[in-house]
Amino acid sequence: VGVSVVNALSSRLDVEVRRDGKMHHMAFERGKVVEPLVVIGETTKTGTMIRFVPDREVFGNTWPSREYFEQHLWDVACLTPGLVTELDGELTFHAPNGLANMVARSAEGRTRLQPEPLRICVKSDIVDVEVALQWTAEGQPQINGLVEWWRVLQGTHIEGLWDAIREVICDIAGRERFN
């Protein structure tokens, strides 16, 4: 979901942009500009901060839990390694090693069979792919599938990963004559 959708579904949305040595601010209410874009100061930092209040006329009292937002911001940080996000100015989410950070966290409390997750990054003109794998002694597979920054439990990308893992293991087993 982009910021325009969040804006339309918010009773208030404030945007603060820091770039080119200046800090800019603009505010919206229910998708309409209530404070036009203005320079509010100078800065040496860069980045964008978005604050919003969900519109109770749209959502009523239904709103995802704080844990839901924490999980989502962690996932976004893992998918965009250079990004730093904050929730309510209290929690900071940053994963400099991308999906390897996500996999390492999900392996916490388990007996790891390798010290660090295996991280594979492939870039082409068509698509960028990142995969991180961590084997544990517990033997229960856990796949965190992510599509367009959202967790998914199944789909062709997850099936394709399983197929590739099986193919590599069978290829190695065939070459090494493991039976």
Cβ neighbors of 124 (< 8 A, separation 6 or more) are none
Per-residue pLDDT band for 130 (boundaries 50, 70, 90) equals confident
Among 39-43, 78-82, 140-144, which stretch is predicted with the lowest mean pLDDT?
A: 140-144
Strands 85-87 and 47-54: unpaired
Chain mean pLDDT for the chain: 87
pLDDT digits (tens, 9 = 90+) for 14-43: 999 999 999 999 999 999 999 999 999 999
Task: Tell me the C-alpha distance between 32 and 124, whole Å.
Answer: 40
51 pLDDT exceeds 70? yes
The predicted structure's pLDDT at residue 158: 82
In DSSP terms, 12 is beta-bridged to 53
Predicted structure pTM score:
0.69
Q: Is the separation of the CB atoms in 156 and 147 below 8 Å?
A: no
Which of 104, 131, 136, 108 lies closest to 120 in space, CA to CA?
131
Please give the share of the chain, as a percent, with pLDDT higher than 70.
98
Task: Tell me the C-alpha distance between 51 and 20, whole Å.
Answer: 21
Q: What sign for the dihedral angle of Cα 100, 103, 109, 111? A: negative
> Coil, strand or helix: which one is 55?
coil
